[in-house]
Amino acid sequence: MTTLPPSGPTTPPTTRSLRSPFAIKICGMRSVQDVWAVADAGADAVGLNFYGPSVRSLNPDADETFQINDAARQAGLIQVGLFVNHDLAFIQRVVESLQLDWIQLHGDEPVTLAEELIRRGGRVLRAIRLPRGNLEPGQIDAAIGQWNDAGVSLLLDADAGASFGGGGQSLDWPSIRDWADRRGESAAGWVLAGGLNPENVPEAIRISGATSVDVASGVEQPKGQKNAEKIRQFVAAVRRGEEAL
Ligand SMILES: O=C(O)c1ccccc1NCC(=O)[C@H](O)[C@H](O)COP(=O)(O)O
């Protein structure tokens, strides 16, 4: 990942040719064993959650967090740091100390924060928290708003209310498909999240057309605790879904 220098050359945003940062991300690593389960299953990215109130949160300064992060790096996994309404200094400090590959902004951050992170060499994934139920393409475009032009990748998640994410609620996949079809070639730059699990992810991929997926609660048992078998089943199910595309 980037070293996030305090200042640097301005990188022009690439708005129409973004690719998804990963194919399968398992979000909310709490132990080295979780990371091994992700690597063994064949997913390509892990999420490290730094949002304090979350059941999946990590202390960025704890030895265990460095061990989890080192295990992910050694396994060749993409390391995504998850932030919710944190300020630039906090994000920069955590990204630098853990050498994270991507910064996921999952709160109500202003687009200027992403622009500054990108200006400093960071790679940003923006969570777009959408209402559940039928959505018009224009509604999704409106929710994306300025993020579309800021050079970020997009993660479409179901609105989890005050908890911001990890809520296990699904989006309306036909609406996502409709939006993605209209979006055309830039559709590759988005990730589907929200309520995915080993049982429904093939259908979610088939209907929405997603080429990149993210899951937190759907591979846990009990809540907040990753389950290696569910992770394995999830990755296998994604592969089945992709074959049907
Ligand atoms: O997972 C959390 O606890 C969380 C808390 C606050 C903001 C975001 C959070 N998770 C972000 C993710 O990327 C999740 O994978 C995504 O929201 C989907 O979660 P789920 O519906 O449980 O699969």
- Ordered DSSP codes for 206-238: HHH--S-EEESGGGBSSTTSB-HHHHHHHHHHH
Question: What is the 27 CA–ligand 1 centroid distance (Å)?
Answer: 7
Question: Could you tell me which residues come within 8 angstroms of residue 67 by beta carbon, excluding any fewer than 6 positions away?
Answer: 32
Ligand 1 atom nearest residue 215's Cα: 23
Q: What is the pLDDT of residue 1?
A: 42
Ligand 1 atom nearest residue 54's Cα: 3
Ligand 1 atom nearest residue 27's Cα: 15
Question: Rounded to an integer, what distance in angstroms lies between the CA atom of residue 62 and that of residue 28?
Answer: 15
Is the ipTM higher than 0.95? The answer is yes
Q: What pLDDT, in 10s, does the model give residues 177-235? A: 999 998 875 555 799 999 999 999 999 999 999 999 999 999 999 999 999 999 999 99
What token pair was written down for 208? 């929405």
Q: What is the pLDDT of residue 149?
A: 86
Is the CB–ligand 1 distance for residue 165 below 6 Å?
yes
Residue closest by Cα to atom 19 of ligand 1: 166
Is the CB–ligand 1 distance for residue 167 below 6 Å?
yes
Question: What is the 132 CA–ligand 1 centroid distance (Å)?
Answer: 15
Q: Tell me the C-alpha to C-alpha distance, in Å, between residue 241 and each of 68, 193, 228, 235.
A: 29, 15, 20, 10
Tell me, letter by letter, the H, E, C secondary structure of 60-89.
CCCHHHHHHHHHHHHCCCEEEEEECCCCHH
pLDDT < 70: residue spans in the chain: 1-19, 185-188, 245
Positive or negative: CA dihedral 7, 10, 11, 13: positive
Question: Rounded to an integer, what distance in angstroms lies between the CA atom of residue 93 and that of residue 159?
Answer: 28
Question: What is the 10 CA–ligand 1 centroid distance (Å)?
Answer: 31
Residue closest by Cα to atom 6 of ligand 1: 165
Question: What is the 216 CA–ligand 1 centroid distance (Å)?
Answer: 5
Could you identify the residue written with the tokens 């005050």? 162
Q: What is the pLDDT of residue 35?
A: 98
Question: What is the 180 CA–ligand 1 centroid distance (Å)?
Answer: 22
Q: Which of 24, 106, 109 gets mutated to test ligand 1 (max ligand atoms within 8 A of its CB)? A: 106
CB 137 within 8 A of CB 99: no
User: How many CA atoms within 13 Å lie on the side-chain side of 154?
Assistant: 31
Query: What domains are there in the chain, each with its CATH number?
Result: 24-244 (3.20.20.70)
Residue closest by Cα to atom 16 of ligand 1: 166
Nearest to 174 by CA among 151, 153, 205: 205
Is the CB–ligand 1 distance for residue 49 below 6 Å?
yes
Question: Rounded to an integer, what distance in angstroms lies between the CA atom of residue 245 and that of residue 106?
Answer: 29
> Dihedral through CA 122, CA 160, CA 163, CA 23, nearest 10?
-40
Q: What is the pLDDT of residue 185?
A: 58
List beta partners, residue 125: 104, 153
